[in-house]
Amino acid sequence: MKQISGSQSIVFQNAPYIVSAASVVGAKETQGPLGKLFDICAEDNLFGAQTWEEAESTMQKEACILAIGKARVRAEEIRYLYGGDLLRQGIATSMGVEALQIPMFGLYGACSTSGEALALSAMSAAAGYGKYMLAVTSSHFGSAEKEFRFPLGYASQRPLSAHWTVTGSGAFLVKAAEEPDAAGGGAETLSASEKPAAEPDEGDAATSQMSHVRIAGVTVGKIVDYGLKDSQNMGACMAPAAMDTIVRNFLDMGRTEEDYDRIITGDLGYVGQSILFDLVRGQGYDIRKKHLDCGMTIFDRETQDTHAGGSGCGCAAVTLASFILPKVESGEWKRVLFVPTGALMSTVSYNEGASVPGIAHGIVLEHR
Amino acid sequence: MKQISGSQSIVFQNAPYIVSAASVVGAKETQGPLGKLFDICAEDNLFGAQTWEEAESTMQKEACILAIGKARVRAEEIRYLYGGDLLRQGIATSMGVEALQIPMFGLYGACSTSGEALALSAMSAAAGYGKYMLAVTSSHFGSAEKEFRFPLGYASQRPLSAHWTVTGSGAFLVKAAEEPDAAGGGAETLSASEKPAAEPDEGDAATSQMSHVRIAGVTVGKIVDYGLKDSQNMGACMAPAAMDTIVRNFLDMGRTEEDYDRIITGDLGYVGQSILFDLVRGQGYDIRKKHLDCGMTIFDRETQDTHAGGSGCGCAAVTLASFILPKVESGEWKRVLFVPTGALMSTVSYNEGASVPGIAHGIVLEHR
């Protein structure tokens, strides 16, 4: 049913597909280079809510509902939801997805959470645990500044190595491959609520549903700690983890940078990217011609004053939903290594002098 | 390979086994009714560390190392680690498991996290994604009071409906079933680092390794919100989620309370238990003769002044490791439904007036 090719990676023999994705963003993201590609853009960042946290939950809920709607699936048909965010006790996710009433696994992988959620969704779908899985993450500039730094009202200054947390949520519907399990097994009795949804009209399918993006494999990251302690320089803290996961993916799958059309990190930003290039070169690879970073893609460096680039769970998620997946769906990119990166810290660990280790999960997206 | 019998549950055809478990606890837990059953008991609650958070990480690390050691497995042989804790951004887990260098998925399910970690470990092992998976959770009275209520130095008073967070960490090594996949598939190429460990001596196997406890199935919980807002009465907040998961387990698997030797919730406590009984009776079942609660089991109500009972990720985890699993291993209990329960809240959500919904995950443990 699947082949395990190395110590951290899985290659799915019957790879599941991402059949729909949705992106919900705030005002600043709307003004950025990807602005026209997002599904829902807020005029302010409150989404009709009273607090930043409630606004973030609203984004998650809207992203989930939209992703489900695009695929013409009902929430009851989704077996499990995998979701997380940056806030303490993952409260944006708990409050955001509650109304969907999908059995759920709460995750925390800092800004790598979109990779973690997609990996687990793909693993569950490929294993035959259900036809549909939903992966969702979010971040919000207002709630993240309050959580990790200072409330916005303090108007505190930030160094040039700091990132700008993206206000956004991305949701992804993962569907098990329809061909019978290669092994012939996987007996599955569907309950009454799981009858397949009506086939979509061909007419609007192209604009909303996808049928060519498969999650071919995953490389699950380890915690990588180079001892850095500067929470205002997340790019440097996360670059070693990105390197570790990218190189591990190459080794596990017998590949090099030549086998990918793009290698796309989550939110290393300008500082982290240059460190990543150096670290990867030290391992004998050169990914400079293949590399993109969502944090550098989502904002315009010259005009948007976002310093080292965008960050947050939402950064990689909405860039994947709006910018990366359409290119894989169209076949412009045949194979992409998507590597969201997370910095593992809290205000408590920072104040107690702990280092800021990183983690990164690799998702292999293929056009088929 | 596995049969999906209902909308939230999985029954594994080749069920994985829990082959070892370890419990590390603090001083108060050592003095409680289960004191003699734990593996490592601290004289103080700092475990040689400088802070409560670092102490909690140390507990997790020790629990993992001990569980791995009991099974005579090397950390490199463990494919994935699933872990989480109560602290903001799951920092006890990040710092705790870092040294093991196992590819990891960070989780957040409040006090239900042990169930979440065991479910995902079992799902991954049953799917053939690796031979060994490690599940770990922890909580610490000092770090939890600081995180959710007041630093211990304030000596604040608590209502009788409040719980006492258990200082403890439990780790569980889950091993894929050795019989060939019923479907005949699951091609797996092991890398050099994955050679099977030497067979354990028969002599001490009985005292440390287990060979009769299988995870027969899981019921993944939904978020259940009855609108309660009292974070000092977690039992009431979590009881509806426990009911929902227990009844869903019955329906999905075609069972009643008669099919289980014990139904064991995580930390409902005295208040939550009575609510659970009422709610379950409303659904047509009576679990009173089968029910235990880890939070009521781990402390002595009369002498330990722990009010509604123990709580925290560590409460269910160390009770499972020290008290429940040996009874399943010996065959005293043939089938147990283990249902850790979590209250989804943060100080921010509480201060903003949000309700405290619950979630509970069901793990079916069988003697075989």
Tell me the ipTM for this assembly: 0.93
Q: Cα–Cα distance between B137 and A227 in angstroms, integer?
A: 24
Q: Please state, in angstroms and rounded to a whole number, the distance separating the CA atoms of residues B76 and A172.
A: 32
Per-residue pLDDT of chain B (368 residues; tens, 9 = 90+): 444 446 899 999 999 999 999 999 999 999 999 999 999 999 889 999 999 999 999 999 999 999 999 999 999 999 999 999 999 999 999 999 999 999 999 999 999 999 999 999 999 999 999 999 999 999 999 999 999 988 888 888 888 899 999 999 999 999 999 764 443 333 343 343 433 444 444 444 434 789 999 999 999 999 999 999 998 899 999 999 999 999 999 999 999 999 999 999 999 999 999 999 999 999 999 999 999 999 999 999 999 999 999 999 999 999 999 999 999 999 999 999 999 999 999 999 999 999 999 999 999 999 99
Burial category of B43 from C-beta neighbours within 10 Å (exposed 0-12, middle 13-18, buried 19 and up): exposed
3-state secondary structure (DSSP) of residue B42 = coil
User: What is the reported pLDDT for A151?
Assistant: 86
The single-letter code of the amino acid at A224 is V
CB under 8 A, 24+ apart: contacts of A294-297:
A294/A264, A294/A265, A294/A266, A294/A267, A294/A319, A294/A320, A294/A340, A295/A163, A295/A166, A295/A235, A295/A265, A295/A266, A295/A267, A295/A268, A295/A269, A296/A268, A296/A269, A296/A270, A297/A33, A297/A34, A297/A323
A38, A323, A67, A69: which is closest to A174 by C-alpha? Answer: A67
Q: Of A2, A51, A89, A101, which to mutate for an interface test with B (greatest number of B Cβ within 10 Å)?
A: A89
Q: What is the CA radius of gyration of chain B?
A: 19
A108-118 pLDDT per residue, tens: 999 999 999 99
**Residues within 8 A of A (CB atoms), B 154-213 only:** 181-191, 193-194
H-state helical runs in A263-366: 269-282, 294-297, 301-304, 313-319, 325-330, 347-351
Residue with tokens 């916005």: A152
**What pLDDT does residue A179 have?**
61
| Interface check A303 vs B, CB under 8 A | no
Where are the alpha helices (H) located in chain B, listed in sequence order? 27-30, 52-70, 91-97, 113-126, 141-148, 202-208, 234-253, 269-282, 294-297, 301-304, 313-319, 325-330, 347-351
The count of CB pairs under 8 A between chains A and B is: 239
> In which band, very low, low, confident or very high, does the pLDDT at A7 lie, cut at 50, 70 and 90?
confident
Flag whether residue B346 sits within 8 Å of chain A, measured between CB atoms.
Answer: yes
Percent of chain A with pLDDT over 90: 84
Rg (CA), chain A: 19
Instruction: Tell me how crowded residue B250 is: count the other CB atoms within 10 A of its CB.
Output: 24
Signed CA dihedral, A347, A349, A352, A354: sign only: negative
Report the largest interatomic distance among the alpha carbons of chain B, rounded to a whole angstrom.
61
**Closest CA in chain B for residue A1:** B186
Q: What distance in Å separates residue A37's CA from the closest CA in chain B? A: 30
Q: Is A80 on the interface with B (CB under 8 A)?
A: yes
Residue A288: pLDDT over 90: yes
DSSP-derived letter for residue B323 is I
pLDDT of the residue at A290: 98
- To the nearest whole Å, the CA of B327 is away from the closest chain A CA by 28
Cβ of residue B7 closer than 8 Å to a chain A Cβ = yes
Cα torsion A316, A322, A323, A327: sign: positive
What secondary structure letter does DSSP report for A82?
E
Distance of alpha carbon B59 from alpha carbon B344, whole angstroms: 24
| B1 with A128: Cβ contact below 8 A | yes
Give the pLDDT score at A248: 97
- Across the interface, whether the CB atoms of A189 and B3 are under 8 A apart is answered yes
